[in-house]
């Protein structure tokens, strides 16, 4: 599901030309590729190894299970200079060496990141330099040059959902869609 919704979001924001897809389950990868090819006009290529999905990509989204003691796959130098990564899976897919190579790591909330670190996650992950609020408010800079490797490690905040919910509600009312639930 993460791969589908993240690709939909990226396709809204960027003029995608080619997408590389990798899954540890080849049948799931094939299903994903078929579904996404039916939905989008850009090229979607299945790869046999995770490295093949990264080395040429400008945008990378990882979404494996979230684990306290992961067996990371992504190594140093796989994310090219200037690329952006979104670790939907905390740091489960990224090796310590790959994380140390990032020029900028951001999160959605420093306190939540530190809490997760205190209970055993993010043991090889450098502390984020900024959270989304600091970047959006201009308190901390985003990328400073086109060679910086940037990684977003958003942990999921209900605040983000609440910021988007009014717009979803407005659009549903405008289109006359949705179902009222009695609570």
pLDDT tens-digit readout, 84-94: 999 999 999 99
pLDDT band for 159, please (50, 70, 90 cuts): low
Q: To which residue do tokens 């993010």 refer?
A: 122
pLDDT confidence of residue 46: 96
Q: Give the per-residue pLDDT at 42.
A: 95
What is residue 137's three-state secondary structure? coil
Given a cut of 80, whether residue 157 has pLDDT beyond it is no
pLDDT above 90: percentage of residues in the chain: 72
Contact 125, 105 (CB under 8 A): yes
Q: Which of 48, 58, 56, 54 is nearest to 74 (CA)?
A: 54
Question: Which of 91, 70, 81, 69 has its CA nearest to residue 152?
Answer: 91
Q: Which residue has the higher pLDDT, 164 or 42?
A: 42
Q: Which two tokens stand for residue 33?
A: 């590729």
* pTM for this model (two decimals): 0.81
Pairing state between β 18-21 and 59-62: unpaired
- 25 three-state secondary structure: coil
d(CA 64, CA 116): 17
For the chain, what is the mean pLDDT? 92
Residue with tokens 């900028």: 104
Name all domains of the chain by residue range, CATH numbers in brackets.
49-175 (3.40.50.720)
pLDDT over 70, % of the chain: 98
The answer to whether the CB of 50 falls within 8 A of the CB of 73 is yes
Beta-bridge partners for 151? 85, 105
């Amino acid at each position: 599901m993460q791969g589908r919704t993240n690709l939909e979001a990226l396709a809204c924001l960027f003029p995608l030309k080619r997408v590389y897809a990798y899954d540890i389950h080849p049948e799931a990868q094939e299903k994903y590729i078929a579904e996404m090819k039916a939905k989008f006009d850009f090229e979607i290529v299945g790869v046999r190894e995770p490295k093949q999905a990264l080395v040429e990509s400008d945008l990378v989204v990882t979404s494996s299970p979230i684990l306290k003691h992961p067996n990371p796959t992504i190594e140093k130098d796989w994310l090219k200079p200037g690329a952006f990564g979104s670790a939907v899976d905390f740091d489960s897919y990224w090796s310590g060496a790959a994380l140390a190579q990032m020029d900028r790591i951001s999160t959605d909330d420093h306190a939540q990141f530190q809490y997760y670190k205190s209970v055993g996650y993010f043991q090889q992950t450098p502390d984020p330099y900024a959270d989304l609020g600091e970047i959006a408010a201009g308190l901390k800079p985003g990328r400073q040059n086109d060679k910086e490797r940037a990684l977003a490690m958003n942990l999921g905040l209900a605040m983000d959902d609440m910021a988007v919910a009014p717009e979803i509600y407005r659009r549903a009312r405008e289109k006359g869609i949705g179902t009222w639930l009695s609570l």
